Amino acid sequence: MQKDEGPASEPTNELTRRELLERAAAAGLVLALPPVFGASGAGAARDFLGKPGGRFRFALSYDSPTGTFDPAREVIDADGCRRTNTFDTVMALTKDHRAQLRLASLVEPNKTGTVWTVRLRHGVTFHNGKDCTADDLIYSIRRILNPQTASGRRTFLAAVDPKRLRKRDKLTVEIALTRPNSDMPLALALTEVVQNGATYKSFKTHPIGTGPFMFVSWTPGRETLWKRNPNYWHAGQPKVDELELVVIQDNGARINALLSGQVNAIERIDPARVKELQRNPAVRVLIRRVNAMVPITMRLDRKPFTDARVRQAMRLIADRKQMVQSAFNGYATVANDLYGRGQPFYNNELPQREQDLDRAKSLLKKAGAKGLTFKLSTSDAVPGMSESATVFAEQAKKAGIKVILDKIPSDSYFGTRYPYSFGQSAWADNPLNQFYELGLLINSPFPETKWRKPSWDKHFRDAQATLNQHKKKQIYFDLQEVLWNQGGYLQWSDSQYLDAVQKSVRGISTHPQYPLGSYDFRTVTVR
């Protein structure tokens, strides 16, 4: 499927000429561009953007004493930051949610998609000097699959048969599946290769990976420090000598730290302050459209949402533009009740759903739900939740129904279960298939809407079973049409990550999973 047998020089963050121009424009710089980009254009462009060396210090909005380096046990964003810079995944996600080779030089299925061959790159070593081999990859996959590891990635690798992982040679592994899965490359983009024998405990004291940065010290909940991995397999990466994660919870203090130069970059700036920061010549605001969302959820197994007409009515009540405006100050994109806008299999042929109060009223009337009172569970757990709920409740009045807000303290809103018939959830950016696997299948771990339709499940598995991209896309479009007509999510927006960096910071990647270029700092420069 994907092949890269050449030396370790394949750029992971492809920077096209157009992107470079966009970035230059965003930076307000007039660049004297070299007339032609040759074969090594991307690399040259990066060098052009900044000099290597120095320390890159960035502030996240949250970290916790529960934080971890264990890539299989990631819970909070700061864990994602730690794993991304310390370890390498077999594949890497691109900004449009495709998988690209990273630690592997080859990832290839057999004709039926039931056996996948993964060959690791030559000459990759762990931070302690040991070679990264097939044994490490097999151990890493088995570790994720072991229920005792309590890994959230188990869902994506569920088709892998741990007993039939075969080492073909020093660097090559055959992964046999119990059913065909064409989404394996995306699952491998969430599979870090750890050292054979590494445990949750060893990650606490001495996390060792193959990643661009090496662990130096860690004060849980406060500070994480890395240094450059001088033997990194990717020539010319990483750029900076040191990497430091600090935590500043207060939104204002985070911006102040950036403005006073105490940190080089901050994540998640307050939407109300974007304009002010854009006027400041010392900093640059990064706005990234992603597939994160804070949707309203309706549970299909609880009345009155058992009736698809009620669910559709709710979706027709929403004035999405107004919700985006008041919840995010306009810094979000109106969504069409479907997850994953911009992804390869996103159904962009369905019309944008607009507010239609008359149709909503008549649907409610037909469903016998007229004059009902709805209790919407909300919270301040994630920005935008309670604000959008308040606006939605106002809009519902116009359709003649009453929505009462049940506000739950933010630290107890998301428990082990999601018990709300009518609530608000929060999702990070995921590839489309992974969102379905996590939330919409019969045995999904987060069945917030209790969608659970056997026929839909079967159809989804059909899509996974085919290696034909065209056929797969067709099935995905059908799956989404069903969701658009009957689903339990009222998805009114796609979020945007709002981050800010000092003018001197260059090379923040465009990956969408987390803020600040998915915290992937291998190409960042500060000079």
Partner 1 sequence: VIQPFGRLRAPLKGEPHRLLGYAVRRILAGFVTLFVVSIVVFMTTSLLPGDAAVAALGKGAQPELVKTVRHELGLDKPPVQRYADWLKGVAHGDFGKSILTDTPVRDLIGDRIVNSVILALVAGLLLIPLSLFLGATTAARADGLVDRSVMSSTLVAISLPEFVIGTILILLFAQKLHLLPPVSLYDVGVNPLSQPTKLVLPVLTLIAGSMAQTIRLVRAGVIEVSRSEYVQMARLKGVSGARLMRRHILRNALVPAIQVFALALQWMVGAIVVTELVFAYPGVGTALVQAVGARDLPVVQALALFISAVYITLNVVADLLVVFLTPRLRTG
Query: Applying CB under 8 A, which residues contact partner 1?
Result: 63-66, 75-76, 147-148, 150, 152, 204, 217, 219-223, 246-250, 252-254, 256-257, 259-260, 262-263, 411-412, 414-418, 445-446
CB count, 10 Å around CB of 344? Answer: 14
**Least separation in angstroms between CB 87 and partner 1:** 19
Q: Considering beta carbons, is residue 41 or 220 the nearer one to partner 1?
A: 220
Cβ atoms of 20 and 209 closer than 8 Å: no
Task: Tell how strand 283-289 and strand 493-502 pair up.
Answer: antiparallel
**Least separation in angstroms between CB 337 and partner 1:** 22
φ, ψ for residue 230, nearest 5 deg? -70, -20
The beta strand positions in 133-229, using DSSP E, are: 160-169, 172-177, 213-219, 223-228
**Least separation in angstroms between CB 181 and partner 1:** 21
Nearest residue to 385 (alpha-carbon basis) of 413, 354, 356, 365: 413
Q: Considering beta carbons, is residue 316 or 516 the nearer one to partner 1?
A: 516
3-state secondary structure of 366: helix
Q: Considering beta carbons, is residue 129 or 147 the nearer one to partner 1?
A: 147
**Least separation in angstroms between CB 467 and partner 1:** 31
Chain center to CA of 105: 24
**Least separation in angstroms between CB 264 and partner 1:** 12
**Least separation in angstroms between CB 364 and partner 1:** 31
Cα distance between residue 84 and residue 518, in whole Å: 8
**Least separation in angstroms between CB 411 and partner 1:** 6
3-state secondary structure of 377: strand
Q: Considering beta carbons, is residue 74 or 192 the nearer one to partner 1?
A: 74
Q: Considering beta carbons, is residue 63 or 88 the nearer one to partner 1?
A: 63
Q: How many CA atoms lie within 13 A of 203 on its CB side?
A: 24
**Least separation in angstroms between CB 260 and partner 1:** 5
One-letter-per-residue 3-state SS of 304-319: CCCCHHHHHHHHHHCC
Cβ atoms of 340 and 432 closer than 8 Å: yes
Cβ atoms of 65 and 221 closer than 8 Å: yes
Cα distance between residue 105 and residue 132, in whole Å: 13
One-letter-per-residue 3-state SS of 434-487: HHHHHHCCCCCCCCCCCCCCHHHHHHHHHHHHCCCHHHHHHHHHHHHHHHHHHC
Q: Considering beta carbons, is residue 69 or 374 the nearer one to partner 1?
A: 69
Cα distance between residue 463 and residue 306, in whole Å: 27
Q: Considering beta carbons, is residue 266 or 505 the nearer one to partner 1?
A: 266
Query: How far is residue 11 from each of residues 22, 92, 310, measured CA to CA in Å?
Result: 19, 11, 49
Nearest residue to 516 (alpha-carbon basis) of 249, 264, 253: 264
φ, ψ for residue 439, nearest 5 deg? -125, -20
Q: Considering beta carbons, is residue 148 or 373 the nearer one to partner 1?
A: 148
Question: For 351-360, b where at least 16 C-beta lie within 10 A, e where not — what string?
Answer: eebebbbeeb
**Least separation in angstroms between CB 149 and partner 1:** 9
Q: How many CA atoms lie within 13 A of 111 on its CB side?
A: 0
**Least separation in angstroms between CB 150 and partner 1:** 4
**Least separation in angstroms between CB 259 and partner 1:** 7
Q: Considering beta carbons, is residue 154 or 167 the nearer one to partner 1?
A: 154
**Least separation in angstroms between CB 399 and partner 1:** 32
